[in-house]
Structure 1
Amino acid sequence: MTIDTIDTIDTGVGGLAGSEAPDAPRTGLVEISGVHKSYGAHEVLHGITLTVEPGQVVALLGPSGSGKSTLLRAINHLETIDAGSITIDGEFIGYERRGDRLHELPEKRVLQRRTRVGMVFQNFNLFPHLTALENIIEAPIGLRRANRTGATERARELLSRVGLADHADKYPRQLSGGQQQRVAIARALALDPDVLLFDEPTSALDPELVGEVLGVIRGLAHGGTTLIIVTHEIGFAAEVADHVVFLDDGRVIEEGPPQRVLRAPEQARTQEFLDWVI
């Protein structure tokens, strides 16, 4: 497999250790450079370049099919890319650099690096045979980040944080959609990621349940973790985002602070989209 600017890829291992010095820089810097992605003959990302600063809250907006979810999944290496590069604090999730080449990591190493990035999907993706608490402790225990006692204590703290302290022993089928999504957020937080990705976290919810999930995300915003949120909730984006990026046809059409992009966009295509969704 050959990737422009990513060079030839083959199997390898590797990793970077983070500094624990008290004055270490904040983590969660996401750098996306010249990213292309195609499915067959259809190119869905056309040279995306974007920088998300540590602790920044970024909202990705755009019509269906604009490449928002594909870009989000590429950050977490759930989608491979055809050209360009994506790093978090200078480190690739799915590759390591050897000289002037990038070599694909085995899945075990990818999973280890992916713990730096939490992701909340549209459709919750909870394990149906596990309780809410068991869904949250599964990854920390499986990756040997905590023993069962420590993971359980942390999971109960997270369930309380998302307003579900009394639902720890319930299975997903016993929870509403909004409650399931809040469990999914708690699960994403269990590994203390540097970056949190939200892929239209309210799109599968009934309208009356949207507010409870947005409330949890609102509480996470500006808490120090980098947040990248794909959403159609324009008002919510205006409220919580530091930076708004509008994508169309796999390209960044416009980006900037929400008060400018959402109230006085410079590009006609951005205004056309806003007129349609608001």
Structure 2
Amino acid sequence: MSGTVMVEARGVRKSFGGTEVLKDLSLTVVEGSVTCLIGPSGSGKTTFLRCLNRLETVDAGIIMIDGALVGVDQRGGRLVEQRERDIAKTRQQSGMVFQRFNLFPHRTALENIAEGPLFVQKRPKAEVLREARELLARVGLADRADAYPQELSGGQQQRVAIARALAMKPKLILFDEPTSALDPELVGEVLAVMKQLAREGMTMIVVTHELGFARDMADQVVFMADGVVVETGPPAQVLGNPIETRTREFVASVI
């Protein structure tokens, strides 16, 4: 890890209707690190992840990725909403891997990976296809380039989704419970790819219930509940010897 701050969230608030989902949430993520967000359902983990790449707007606070504001610009001492094309450009800095894969069913694995670089980044087709094949090999699917999503297992689809996120050359990848929709026997193949990315120095923020992954691979574990960060620290502390009672109760309930 370089020590450079890749993600900084300050005082983030988000409500849906009358329900405040994120309450003055602040978090710092260092370049090259793995941060695991854990906590009970409804604690705001996924909402926070979606705010990081502006799939959700924030009601208050700021988010910065690699020193640049996300979703807003500072003009004349105040924050103003960015234009959609600027938001889309900023969003490319962070790849996202969803629970349910979100692959295009009418496109092959290779075409799913190439879609963003070709049509969003407008990169040369020959270069994109070459890199897409390299990414398929990287996630262990070199022989499935022409397969459609329905011809792949859930674990294979999720590995294609990871390759698709990498194809955009993001500065960080956001994982939203990437193994929760998988049968137990398929979880390991996806976690293996994620562990390799971590070893290669990819900045990752992972919402997960896989505490074994968090214990082995995280640089910091963040326990959230009711829209706030209750406790943050290295895995040995948060998972092995938590300070806060709510953290202790949660960890004991899922081990």
Whether TM exceeds 0.5 here: the answer is yes
Shift of 1:99: 2.2
The aligned counterpart of 1:202 is: 179
Compared CA separation, residues 225 and 27, structure 1 to 2 (3 A): farther
| 1:31 partner letter | E
Deviations 1:127-168 (A, max 9, x none): 111100000111101123521100000000000000000000
The aligned counterpart of 2:229 is: 252
Shift of 1:42: 0.4
Where in structure 2 are there 5+ consecutive unaligned residues?
none
* TM-score, L = length of structure 2: 0.97
The aligned counterpart of 1:70 is: 47
Instruction: Provide the aligned C-alpha RMSD in A.
Output: 1.2
Q: Specify which of 78, 82, 87 is matched with residue 64 of structure 2.
A: 87
* TM-score, L = length of structure 1: 0.89
Shift of 1:222: 3.5
The aligned counterpart of 2:138 is: 161
The aligned counterpart of 1:226 is: 203
Would you tell me which structure has more helix in proportion to its own residues? 2
Residue 245 of structure 2 is aligned to residue 268 of structure 1: yes
The aligned counterpart of 2:28 is: 51
| 1:47 partner letter | D
The aligned counterpart of 2:166 is: 189
Shift of 1:89: 1.6
Of 172-181 and 86-95, deviating more is 86-95
Contact 1:56 1:222 (C-alpha < 8 Å) held by counterparts: no
Distance 1:66 1:55 in 2: 26
Q: Specify which of 83, 86, 93 is matched with residue 116 of structure 1.
A: 93
| 1:107 partner letter | E
Distance 1:155 1:93 in 2: 28
The aligned counterpart of 2:6 is: 29
Residue 220 of structure 2 is aligned to residue 243 of structure 1: yes
Contact 1:57 1:222 (C-alpha < 8 Å) held by counterparts: no
Compared CA separation, residues 145 and 104, structure 1 to 2 (3 A): same
| 1:82 partner letter | D
Stretches of 4+ moved more than 3 A in 1? 25-28
Deviations 1:76-99 (A, max 9, x none): 100101110100122123222212
Residue 151 of structure 2 is aligned to residue 179 of structure 1: no
Contact 2:5 2:28 (C-alpha < 8 Å) held by counterparts: no
| 3-state SS of paired residue (2:155) | helix
Where in structure 1 are there 5+ consecutive unaligned residues?
1-24
Shift of 1:27: 6.7
| 3-state SS of paired residue (2:69) | coil
Distance 2:104 2:183 in 1: 21
Distance 1:192 1:144 in 2: 10
Compared CA separation, residues 201 and 268, structure 1 to 2 (3 A): same
Shift of 1:100: 1.2
Distance 1:70 1:113 in 2: 18
| 2:92 partner letter | T
Residue 126 of structure 2 is aligned to residue 126 of structure 1: no
| 2:48 partner letter | L
Number of residue pairs matched by the alignment: 254
Q: Specify which of 116, 133, 150 is matched with residue 139 of structure 1.
A: 116
Shift of 1:28: 6.3
Contact 1:28 1:195 (C-alpha < 8 Å) held by counterparts: no
